[in-house]
Amino acid sequence: MYRKNTKHLQLALISNVNDLPEKQHRRLKQSWAGTFYPELFCRIDESIFEVLYSGMPSRPNVPVNVLVGLETLKAGFGWSDEEMHDAFLFDLQVRYALGYHTIGEGEFDLRTVYNFRSRVAQHMQKTGENLFEKAFEQIADEQVQAYELKTGKLRMDSTQIASNIRNTTRLRLLVEVLQRTYRILSEVDQEHYANEFAPYLKGNAGQYVYRVKAGEGEQHLLQIGELMHKLVGELAATYANEHAYQILKRVFEEHFVVTEEAQLRTKQGEELSANSLQSLDDEQASYRRKRGKDYIGYVGNITETCDPENDFQLIVKVQVEPNTTDDAKMLDEALPQLKERTDLDEMHTDGGYNSSDVDDTCDKQEVAQVQTAIRGAKPSSEILGVKDFQWEMDADGHPQYVICPHDLSTPVTPGSKLERYLAHFNSSDCDNCPFSDKCPTQALKRNPQRVLRFSQQQVNVARRRQRTAQARASGQNLRAAVEATVRSVKHPFRNGKVPVRGQPRVSMVVIGSAAMSNVRRIWRYLSAKKTQESKQKPQVLSSENSVFPFLSHWTRFFLSLFAPQRQTCAFGTEFFQ
């Protein structure tokens, strides 16, 4: 049964935190934990996760904000589950960050965390809704609002994230599929297919591959393919709903082809899809080769604020997809929601984020995309192109007027085909043009005019190139720093390999690391601000530095009893003022 956690808002009369000497108590409040508590823990909207719990009267749940907080700390520090649990049980700083002041309070078994993750993953697979992503964005929006960060300019970058799976050979993968198929068979069927399966059940798949001699790999693949082809047809009636059978059918179709002559052959080279199954333990992971290096897993896409007037920047969105997903597709999907959540009017990206769909979405959302480079062939500098003309667009992003390099303006008319346009210039105006030998316009035979023919896509690319040139001329590259942000998110994971499998779990880990990165930025900002203020203000004797330091704990407690009630955290109010 779901129950909201508000116990942390009430200070305990006696606690381990209150027993700390004043110097250690002050240092604890000024540490990252003193920022984590009010800036992340207290901002968690637990009701987002209420759908995971039964509405029937039952035992209350372990606090959701504690479970989400632990997942964030685990990802942000790169802990194992055991290290995370030990830190929760014995580390006073971690407990302080999670709203606990006393060692031993709020204990629960590690199995509770496993069950919570499982419910979140199952909910994502069933509904497509990522509750961790939803909670992260709600927290980030509140942080942006609290520190009055400007969100008109955002920047985005992607990175490869390796799944925690074994790099395996094609033959080994196919043998593992056969072994798991055998396990779902009834005793009668196992006996019926005993001879066919016998070669593949002697030890594990790795041991089978070890016994294969050099040059015999293709022969073994074909033998496995013949058996798979037989099993796919004969087991469908009984086992079609079994997951292992569905994997068998998928792998057979991904790796083999039945020709028109009813002959079986293995797929080779480009016939193999990058989205083909890479591991039986991670069915969403995909294969990608980038800059001569092979990757198996996912791609993470990070979006953060980048207005130069902000005191610091925050990550506002994290996307995790199979690594075959194009950057432009992730930008296209993210733009409408980012526009709704922020004041976005300028998106800074690298050259991988351009596509016709992105152009259309940017026009609809009234967002200018500024790229550091443009994907595709570089235009020649010896002749003029569409990029050298200036364009006036309508509300839907279609060209209305064009101004040539000689500063002549003319209206744009639709062409004979969809999204094709024409612009006519008077030949007399072009006679003395210094750019006539480089001009892309063509003279008409029957009319004293020159015409420029172009497409909507050419205009979109031209405008992106113009924005890129303007950004370079300004000497201010707002996108560059996002690469450091990506590094900070991946830093807790050795070699960029997360310790989990499956898209739901990978996304939870990457989002948790991004949330912790935001906390660290806020903590550094507040620490620097406090240091600056202490330099400017004269030292004043406070009760905490008085000759009765042992009274300070009790003074704070009794003053809190008579202080006006506030809907805020009990021991982090200075961050909410």
The pLDDT of 46-54, averaged and rounded, is: 92
Model pLDDT for residues 524-536, shown as the tens digit of each residue: 999 999 988 888 8
- Is residue 95 pLDDT above 80, yes or no? yes
The CA distance from 451 to 422, in Å, is 7
Name which residue leads in pLDDT, 119 or 463: 119
> In this structure, which long-range contacts are made by residues 349-352, counting pairs with CB atoms below 8 Å and at least 24 apart in sequence?
349/155, 349/156, 349/157, 349/479, 350/157, 350/479, 351/375, 352/158, 352/326, 352/327, 352/328
Quote the tokens at residue 543.
């009760």
Q: How confident is the model at residue 553 (pLDDT cuts 50, 70, 90)?
A: low
CA distances 322 to 104, 124, 500, Å, are 41, 15, 14
Cβ atoms 374, 181 nearer than 8 A: no
The CA distance from 125 to 45, in Å, is 22
- Is residue 570 pLDDT above 60, yes or no? no
Name which residue leads in pLDDT, 541 or 306: 306
Return the bridge partners of 159, or none. Answer: 300
The pLDDT of 260-288, averaged and rounded, is: 89
The pLDDT of residue 560: 55
Nearest to 283 by CA among 291, 275, 272: 275
Q: CB within 8 A of 99, min separation 6: which ones?
A: 5, 7, 8, 37, 41, 42, 65, 66, 569
At which residue do the structure tokens 């791609």 appear? 299
The pLDDT of residue 566: 45
The pLDDT of residue 573: 42
Question: Could you give the 3-state DSSP secondary structure of residue 130?
Answer: coil
The pLDDT of residue 486: 95
The CA distance from 245 to 184, in Å, is 8
**AA letter at 262:** A
Model pLDDT for residues 143-200, shown as the tens digit of each residue: 999 999 999 999 999 999 999 988 888 999 999 999 999 999 999 999 999 999 999 9
The CA distance from 6 to 241, in Å, is 45
The CA distance from 53 to 116, in Å, is 10
- Is residue 459 pLDDT above 90, yes or no? no
The pLDDT of 333-358, averaged and rounded, is: 92
For residue 64, give the H/E element and its range: helix 64-77
Q: Which residues of 74-97 are buried (b: 16+ CB within 10 A; e: fewer)?
A: bbbeebeeeebbebbeeebebbbb
What one-character DSSP code corresponds to residue 230?
Answer: H
Model pLDDT for residues 303-318, shown as the tens digit of each residue: 999 999 999 999 999 9
The pLDDT of 250-258, averaged and rounded, is: 93
Q: How confident is the model at residue 567 (pLDDT cuts 50, 70, 90)?
A: very low
Q: CB within 8 A of 134, min separation 6: which ones?
A: 48
Which stretch, 92-96, 551-555, 566-570, has highest mean pLDDT?
92-96
The CA distance from 406 to 71, in Å, is 61
Quote the pTM value. 0.83
What one-character DSSP code corresponds to residue 62?
Answer: P
The pLDDT of residue 136: 97
The CA distance from 487 to 500, in Å, is 19
- Is residue 324 pLDDT above 70, yes or no? yes
The CA distance from 181 to 231, in Å, is 9
Lowest mean pLDDT among 370-384, 432-446, 518-532: 370-384
The CA distance from 542 to 559, in Å, is 15
Give the residue ranges of DSSP H helices in 164-301.
170-184, 187-192, 194-197, 205-211, 217-234, 236-239, 243-255
The CA distance from 327 to 349, in Å, is 10
Cβ atoms 282, 145 nearer than 8 A: no
Model pLDDT for residues 495-539, shown as the tens digit of each residue: 889 999 999 999 999 999 999 999 999 999 999 999 888 888 776
Model pLDDT for residues 66-92, shown as the tens digit of each residue: 999 999 999 999 999 999 999 999 999
Which stretch, 103-117, 473-487, 552-566, has highest mean pLDDT?
103-117
At which residue do the structure tokens 């930025």 appear? 521
The CA distance from 507 to 124, in Å, is 11
Which stretch, 4-13, 226-235, 360-369, has highest mean pLDDT?
226-235
Please, is 334 exposed, middle or buried when counting C-beta atoms within 10 Å of its C-beta (0-12, 13-18, 19+)? buried
Residue count of the chain, please give it: 577
Return the bridge partners of 304, or none. Answer: 155, 315
The pLDDT of residue 576: 40
Q: Chain-wide mean pLDDT for the chain?
A: 88
At which residue do the structure tokens 């196992």 appear? 190
The pLDDT of residue 438: 86
Q: How confident is the model at residue 575 (pLDDT cuts 50, 70, 90)?
A: very low
The CA distance from 465 to 470, in Å, is 9
Model pLDDT for residues 192-243, shown as the tens digit of each residue: 999 999 999 998 998 999 999 988 889 999 999 999 999 999 999 999 999 9
Q: What angle do CA 214, 215, 220 make, to 5 degrees?
A: 100
The CA distance from 225 to 219, in Å, is 10
Nearest to 356 by CA among 346, 348, 364: 364
Q: How confident is the model at residue 376 (pLDDT cuts 50, 70, 90)?
A: low
- Is residue 557 pLDDT above 60, yes or no? no
The CA distance from 430 to 415, in Å, is 22
